Structure 1
Amino acid sequence: MDASAIELRHLRHFLALAESLHFGRAAAAVGIAQPPFSQSIARLEKLVGHPLFERRRSGVERVALTDAGRALLGPARQVVAQAAQAIETARAAGQGELGTLGLGFVASLAAGELPALLARFRLARPGVTLTISEMTTDPMLAALHRHEIELGLGREVAAQSNVQTRLLFRERLHLVAAGGHPLAGRVAGVADLAGQPFVLPPVSAGGSFRQHLSELCAASGFIPQVVQEATEWSTVLAFVGAGFGLSIVPQSALSGSRAECTVLDIPGLEWWTSVFACWRADHDSAVRDALLETLGELGRDDFS
């Protein structure tokens, strides 16, 4: 017998007849006319090489399973159930309800709505495995290219070949100083920032973001004199609080900070940073697309 010649419909028809033991009712149950149903059963019996049903006529046509039919019953049920499960698994994967996803994000986003959104995503899609890593923007892009993550959330993501981006939200940047800094407690003008020492993230952590900060300062009429670099915003703020210098930090980085820092409000001076989702253009992922839809709720004009 060539088992590959057996079609799934043959087994479904066999199971319908094995349950009802009546050709007419079985054909109606699977939604086809009796002649093609009978032909399907005959085809299966020919492939098996033995009758699967014993035909009995006693006024009303009924059938009974033969030894071969009884032997086929259990395996046929398993095959049909497995086929249904395979279809359901494929459907779930296609809808982003099943699969794995590596996510990288800049640490400051953890102070906002991101953790709650990710928790809700996990609860709604228990078949999805999320691997979440904190990383700065440039290493995030490198991880994307190495296929170590499928989605990144970074600041001022520079255009790169084979990388698609989507703006998630804009966030206000604040000028901060130590609590006892001479500029604290009074209105400072931009001219007062010239020559001031600054603590900023290194270029290696996020070259585009560092460049963005430098361009904002240059447009405001001064060049930041960087005396100390730190990768994590908590470390930046700790150095600022210790008196190393000023810094420019996103609103989210200030949330929950224990550093002794104060925000310097300069009239007419507003700085912003943009947070982007980024992913490889040559890789399709239903899970990624589903998470992107959820992350769309981060979109707003301020993170405060």
Structure 2
Amino acid sequence: MSPRMELRHLRYFLAVAEELHFGRAAARLHISQPPLSQQIRRLEKELQAPLFQRTKRHVELTNAGRVFLGDARALIAQAEQAAGNAKRASRGEIGQVLVGCDLWADFLNGANIIRLFARRHPDVEVELRDLTATEQISALESGRIHVGILRPPVPSKALISERLLSENLVVAFPRGHRFKSYGRVFWPALGDEPYVLFSRRRAPAFDALVARACHDAGVTLRVKYEVEHPQTILAIVEAGLGISLVPASLQMVRRSAIAYRRLSPAGPALETVIAWRRDSELPLVQAFVKVAREVARSRRVPA
């Protein structure tokens, strides 16, 4: 479209082209006929092509006018769609939400939050980023993600965080293990077993919590494997090669060859939070947080 051509010029042209009468087109546009005629002449001058053939009794499109009509309709439709999309985006009805997820913090809430959000906002794209808690905090601060689901702490003053879930640790073990006969597993019993550790680099907050709990219980874990993915922990446990302390919500990932037991005493609580920028005014962020709150209220961690 020419720099000097405006959407109103296209609308004027479209009205005349559809009415083939300047008087009726002016009435349709709620303007007088002389300014309309003047604007059409300016448009023709801009295009360097006559759009209408005029007589005292008759108006018809020239060949250039017929070609321009199709393009003008498409441009107007595109502009109207763009305006409508902008309004819908401002209401949080369309757009994209970038969500950071820590694999070790997402067994109970994450999938349910995304499922419910997608049902309520079908035209919004949710893109997940697999990031550690530290990486999420940095990405939130820089605007590379909009929302994070992670383990605390969230020390940044630029961010708001809100608890979604508080749960305890449980011990995961092969189904044929002696722990199967226990109602609860006492902490000292853990020191006798080969242990599968979730990577300190991947989940430093989780590792610190486990280390503190073991210290308080006077237990030293016999670490045999250190891995970077929860599914790898389950695979090693399932193979009968060790046990592991995991969040209670991990029991939602069903494995027929793995059993779980609570600990005695229960040990420290493990929290999952949702975080977002304090200065965020994006409606989609608030909509996502609202859904997260609903899911958190409705869910219970298995014992």
Instruction: Give the TM-score of the pair, scaled to structure 2.
Output: 0.70
Partner of 1:303: 301
Measure how far apart 1:6 and its partner are.
2.9
Q: Distance in 2 between matches of 1:292 and 1:189?
A: 38
The worse-fitting range, judged by mean Cα deviation, of 75-84 and 192-201 is: 192-201
Partner of 2:4: 5
Measure how far apart 1:251 and its partner are.
2.0
Where 1:29 maps in the other structure, the secondary structure is: helix
Instruction: Please tell me the root mean square deviation across aligned C-alpha atoms, in Å.
Output: 4.2
Deviation string, structure 1 residues 61-118 (Cα, Å, up to 9, x no partner): x754456654543332232222223223333444445444443323356643533543
**Amino acid corresponding to residue 19 of structure 2 in structure 1:** S
**Does structure 2 conserve the Cα–Cα contact (< 8 Å) formed by 1:101 and 1:150?**
yes
- Unaligned ranges ≥5, structure 2: none
| Equivalent of residue 43 in structure 1, options 39, 44, 47 | 39
**Does structure 2 conserve the Cα–Cα contact (< 8 Å) formed by 1:103 and 1:152?**
yes
Q: How does 1:24-173 map to 2 (within 5 A)?
A: 24-30=23-29, 32=30, 34-35=31-32, 38-49=34-45, 52=52, 54=54, 56=56, 63-65=59-61, 69-70=65-66, 72-107=68-103, 111-112=107-108, 114-119=110-115, 121-122=117-118, 125=121, 127-141=123-137, 149-160=145-156, 162=158, 164-173=159-168
Measure how far apart 1:170 and its partner are.
1.5
**Does structure 2 conserve the Cα–Cα contact (< 8 Å) formed by 1:23 and 1:38?**
no
Partner of 1:277: 274
1:254 aligns with 2:233: no
1:174 aligns with 2:169: yes
Structure 1 residues 145 and 114 mapped into 2: Cα distance closer, same or farther (>3 Å)?
A: same
Deviation string, structure 1 residues 168-220 (Cα, Å, up to 9, x no partner): 51232133264645796256677x579777654343122223334445566xx
Instruction: Give the TM-score of the pair, scaled to structure 1.
Output: 0.70
Structure 1 residues 112 and 177 mapped into 2: Cα distance closer, same or farther (>3 Å)?
A: closer
Q: Distance in 2 between matches of 1:4 and 1:182?
A: 77
- Unaligned ranges ≥5, structure 1: none
Structure 1 residues 183 and 20 mapped into 2: Cα distance closer, same or farther (>3 Å)?
A: closer
Measure how far apart 1:10 and its partner are.
2.4
**Does structure 2 conserve the Cα–Cα contact (< 8 Å) formed by 1:150 and 1:280?**
yes
Q: Distance in 2 between matches of 1:182 and 1:122?
A: 40
**Does structure 1 conserve the Cα–Cα contact (< 8 Å) formed by 2:107 and 2:249?**
yes
Measure how far apart 1:275 and its partner are.
1.4
Structure 1 residues 65 and 243 mapped into 2: Cα distance closer, same or farther (>3 Å)?
A: closer
Deviation string, structure 1 residues 148-170 (Cα, Å, up to 9, x no partner): 654332122431364x2432512
Structure 1 residues 3 and 63 mapped into 2: Cα distance closer, same or farther (>3 Å)?
A: same
Q: Distance in 2 between matches of 1:225 and 1:88?
A: 62
